[in-house]
Chain A
């Protein structure tokens, strides 16, 4: 299990955007994994199993207490929030851009892009159909692109360094 810790930490850091929250999440994941290790089947992918546990804990935590109001859990919340977002042109930092992605899109973008899971593996970790992985990936990447570049409406406001 230890060899998987650095990658769990990387994913947790990117997912939560905070060092302490990320390490808490990794800790919770480890504890749950250890208590349920008998459920892991030898020969199956331990890394995917650990990420699944982490994902479930994260989703439960964000559901039970909305720690980051800018982290909507689904697209409808995102649409609602989009209208009262601050100036997108100011968003140059990937951290901020990530934090403004709906949580479900952020998970897919990170699992596929950073953690290099295949689409099938990401679908298993998140327990969603592969078509949903593709649509969230598409929406997430596009949104991130607009956030990072400043979209057409705000491009002129982009600060040139």
Chain B
């Protein structure tokens, strides 16, 4: 990339240390040739330092008495935190997207999609006649179809060694587009669903996260391009064992 393409945004990202390493070098090369721009960048950095010198001492000031979070609120908060932890409030599905701050909508994607997965599990797993759209008998077609709709190559984990066989899968609406749901069943009719979505950010990767409500547990994780949520009314160690197996199969 040539120096002439250095933008104002690049200069600020340089000041804020928000540029990738390669771009940083290009900006530095550019600044070496334009002393006025270099001086401006230096002034911005000094400006930030001045602001920090001026306002950082506020961090160390004792909090005014009026500003302490009242103890009863702290207790209430603890209770609320406990309530929030049980976040799969299935009864209020409809209200989810109708309230709340934009910020929470954007930032809480991490739990929202897992909650959608849990709801999809609750909705479809009791189905007797139509649990899936495409059955395991047409597995190759199922995978091709869902891969095409999600715009990425999907793999269906096989859980036979854990006692679960594939029932089939279906296409569902997700927050940003199509998502896939695969359903499994053991010999006693216990069903698990694996919800697969395309992540907004391909670099995302998380550990297994767990949530549970009303007997339905969900282990969910991001694995680069795809996000997976495994839901089932089985106990946590069992669900973890299956989630681990799935993760292992998808990352041989």
Contacts and interface: CB of A to CB of B under 8 A. Distances in A.
> Which size class do B's interface residues fall under?
35 or more
A141 interface: yes
B59 A2 contact: no
A9 interface: yes
B50 interface: yes
A134 B104 contact: no
Interface stretch (B28-36, B65-73, B133-141, B177-185): B65-73
Majority-rule SS of B interface residues? helix
Nearest to B73: A34
B47 A41 contact: no
Given A10-B56, A98-B51, A124-B106, 7 more contacts: A26-B67, A34-B69, A37-B80, A41-B100, A52-B101, A127-B103, A144-B47
Given A34-B76, A42-B111, A148-B47, A49 B103 contact: yes
Contact of A37 (B50, B77, B99): B77
Interface stretch (B8-16, B121-129, B146-154, B225-233): B8-16
Nearest to B39: A145
Nearest to A147: B47
Main secondary structure of the interface of A (DSSP, over half): helix
Nearest to A26: B67
Contacts of B56: 10, 114
A138 B40 CA distance: 11
